Amino acid sequence: MSVKVQICRRLKDLTRDDLEKLTKTELVDKVIQLQSYNRQLKNILHKKLNESDNDDMIKLTESGELSKDGGTEGIESTETMTTIEPNQEKSLSRKFDFSKTFKRHVLLKLLYFGWNYQGFACQEDSNNTIEFHLFKALTRTCLIESRSSANYHRCGRTDKEVSAFCQVISIDLRSKFPEEHQFEECYLEKEFDYCGIMNRVLPKNIRCISWMPIRNYLFSARFDCVTRTYRYFFPKGNLNISAMQDACKLLQRHTDFRNLCKMDVHNGVTNYVRHIEAANVRLCPHENESKNKGYAMHYLEIRANAFLWHQIRCIMAVLLLVGQEKEEPSVINELLNVEKNPCKPQYTPAVGFPLNLYHCEFRDKSEQKAMNESRQDIKDIRDLTKWLHSENNLRRLIENLQSEWSRAQIKATMIRSTLYDLEQLLENQFNAIDVNFQISLLQEDVKCRSYQKLMNRKRCESLNNRIEHFVKKQRLTVPKQKDSVEVQEFSMP
């Protein structure tokens, strides 16, 4: 049973009375600290300014698309709304007047490879995130005025190195047409090519696939998502796939996963109950297991409404041990029995780069109250419409991915050819059996001479002990029983 807590927010600013009570030494230390903080802010701002493309002069056409100065690619109309000339400094600082435009609420479906990024969500100390480049593209193309006014929600918050084949965001974008015409078929065909516009300025490993017009402005990609499906890709190596599949069946339940995730108690997360709807290990399409032996690629597919921090990576770490026959599939039951095992055994999650957000499903009608009162009386109307694609955009996306595939496949084939020769040499010279260490990359545990069973390892702190620890540090407070009704129970999406 989860404990309800509150996060203590410490005030960083001191009042004048507080400052007058400080000694000279404390004041000097405070000034030095502020100077250091200002230098850090200047470095961050300098880094952001350097990343802007000041050398490429652009033209913003009436269709909202961008092209380099002097070019004609992507221009649908001869009449331009704003033209930026190299010798006109005033036009560079001219702001787009959003008060004269219309808005529509949409879902955007994104694809990105997160191997070289620090995660999806924006961070204060790094611009190397998916969201940073996403909002940079949205503001540069004048599709939004700012993040704060864009009514923005994301479906999932992927971690460092994690990719997404179907990340979905909900957002308000600039539209050509007023609200009363936005859902008519003829006007949808003439609407901005949102995906094409964004893909012209996004990095090549971040792409917009399609968009969907939404009737309810309160429809949220986060709160109205009913299922999220992740896939974790891995080579077979020496794994017992049948044993891993048996272990997956034990995951499909509504229970406490505190021993199969990274607990985030300091952020107020005390509820670790989740419902795994499905979990399976499958052979990748177009793979031949009998021919490729240990090199055949498989994937873990797991579906749920919401996941905990590093939950899938922890599950994969245990499944790899089961597949190596170091653990029995029944170890899943032991880890999920939090009454018998309240403390998590120490183990390292599997690496993050093979993981991706593969699919998301949404409810037809949002549980949020519609902003347009005229639509509230229509109970049968769906908030969702249909995904809109552009043939040219899909062709460019496929061409881009085919190039990336060719580069990666050529490297993989060269390595595989060398491995084949070396394996033949080992077999002929020493009559050795197959060497299958393909999955060692996925495990970051310290290699020991003798393996120690999971349930016999040293344990981490229990959830109650962690709560007490942060309560003593005044990071959390446990409200009294009479106030507990007013406190929300924290849980990660």
**Would you say 248 and 319 are in contact if contact means Cβ atoms under 8 Å apart?**
yes
Active site residues: 159
Beta bridge partners of 59: 67, 83
Helix (H/G/I), strand (E/B), else coil: 50: helix
Report CA torsion sign: 42, 45, 46, 47. Answer: positive
Count of CB atoms within 10 A of residue 173's CB? Answer: 25
Q: Which residues contact 152 (CB under 8 A, 6 or more apart)?
A: 169, 170, 171, 172
Beta bridge partners of 356: 163, 231
**Would you say 121 and 135 are in contact if contact means Cβ atoms under 8 Å apart?**
no
Burial class, 45, CB count within 10 angstroms (exposed 0-12 / middle 13-18 / buried 19+): exposed
Token reading at 157: 């918050």
Kindly state the DSSP code that residue 344 receives in the 8-state scheme.
P
**Amino acid present at 301:** E
Cα 478 to Cα 35, 264, 298, 469: the distances in Å are: 37, 16, 45, 12
Q: How many CA atoms lie within 13 A of 242 on its CB side?
A: 0
d(CA 335, CA 259): 6
Helix %, strand %, coil % of the chain (to 5): 35, 20, 45
Kindly state the DSSP code that residue 48 receives in the 8-state scheme.
H
d(CA 479, CA 3): 10
Q: Which residues contact 221 (CB under 8 A, 6 or more apart)?
A: 107, 153, 154, 155, 168, 169, 170, 360, 362
Torsion of CA 45, 48, 49, 53, to 10 degrees: 180
